[in-house]
Structure 1
């Protein structure tokens, strides 16, 4: 459904991503951020699904063409560890937001795992955003504090997550409330990465569909 495009970062460098357009013109935009595996077919499929839901959707390739097989967690961890999260957010992701803003009045940001952490950073650091939806990823506070978030925020987290743990999520939610942020947090009795239907050992269709409905409703509310 979608196609690979090149777009400009704010610093003038080129970046690549997967673009899927809604059927109508002047649709709101959603930038979709990958898991630690890279720009996988699963992420491209979710980008297509956002387009079918009425959004122009763009998934930037933060690994510049590197795609890690699902079984190779060591390599995925290495790729994620070598990523400059602030540069990725403030340059590549912001460039994707600016690209969609050319045709969309409002643009939202969403991401999964690694991309969830990038979403939180973007909600604090990308001025063109209008809303953000995070799936099971929270960055260190030196990258973005809950009090720094500047747009309406929705988060989806797994109770059986040993990376973005319930304790981390609880502290994050408490800090959001203390800062008076426009935020809602949902928890699911599922594993980390429960939305990824290509990983049958963790995929939870019921939880994924409920989270999808909540996310798209949230974006339609705040983006149009």
Structure 2
């Protein structure tokens, strides 16, 4: 499919001589769409990556930490991803970023204006997906893969995503591994209890023998059977909720 980088401009003063990601600069988004021969108008899906940035795996948020990082999966990359980039995330800023992306999709990008919008995320991106489902109007469906730290806020003045569960008004899918330490199976049970109490429509599946990151074929934790099944579930879920 044709793919390219697109700048999503935020309001605010722009300091071109100081390229640090913050309000006033562009958020760079990786865009991929069907070839023109396949149509001119499509629903959109926002993809929120792991803590390792929009790397080759994600192409086959971190714009505030300019330029966008592209990390691998070495121990050094894990340390940098978790202790620098993920540690700098704030939920209020993440909501702003997702809302800016939704606005671009619904109002500016010609192929998706007026179409439905879904969101899917992996690892910390799964957590951001859960947060977006609670806080970002304009979404029609959400799929979270092994979303860790849903019970923990990013930023001292923000509530944890799980405490916003009652705000979710869209269908939610979750894909988890029973060998995962974050979220653990007990964490998933706690999330389900909050979703049940709020009356949210959701579809969670736990994969036996799968651990964290089971969808990523560049990681040692890759589980082909779980990944293929979760991908089929994800496509079917978006077909159901975005195409109708």
1:63 is displaced (CA, Å) by 4.6
The match for 1:14 among 26, 33, 36 is 26
Aligned to 1:29: 44
Residue 114 (structure 1) aligned with residue 124 (structure 2)? yes
Question: Which structure 2 segments of 5+ residues have no match?
Answer: 13-23, 153-158
How many Å separate the matches in 1 of 2:184 and 2:92? 23
Aligned to 2:86: 80
Shift of the 156–8 alpha-carbon distance from structure 1 to 2, 3 Å rule, reads same
CA contact (8 A) 2:53 2:62 kept: no
The match for 1:134 among 128, 132, 144 is 144
The normalised TM-score by structure 1 is 0.86
Aligned to 1:67: 70
Higher CA-based Rg: 2
Q: Which has the higher contact order (CA 8 A, sep 6+)?
A: 1
How many Å separate the matches in 2 of 1:214 and 1:4? 28
Aligned to 2:6: 5
1:86 is displaced (CA, Å) by 2.5
The match for 1:195 among 211, 215, 221 is 215
Question: Which structure 1 segments of 5+ residues have no match?
Answer: 46-58
CA-atom RMSD in angstroms: 1.9
How many Å separate the matches in 2 of 1:25 and 1:62? 32
How many Å separate the matches in 2 of 1:178 and 1:115? 24
Describe how 1:156-171 pairs up with structure 2 within 5 A: 156-171=175-190
The normalised TM-score by structure 2 is 0.80
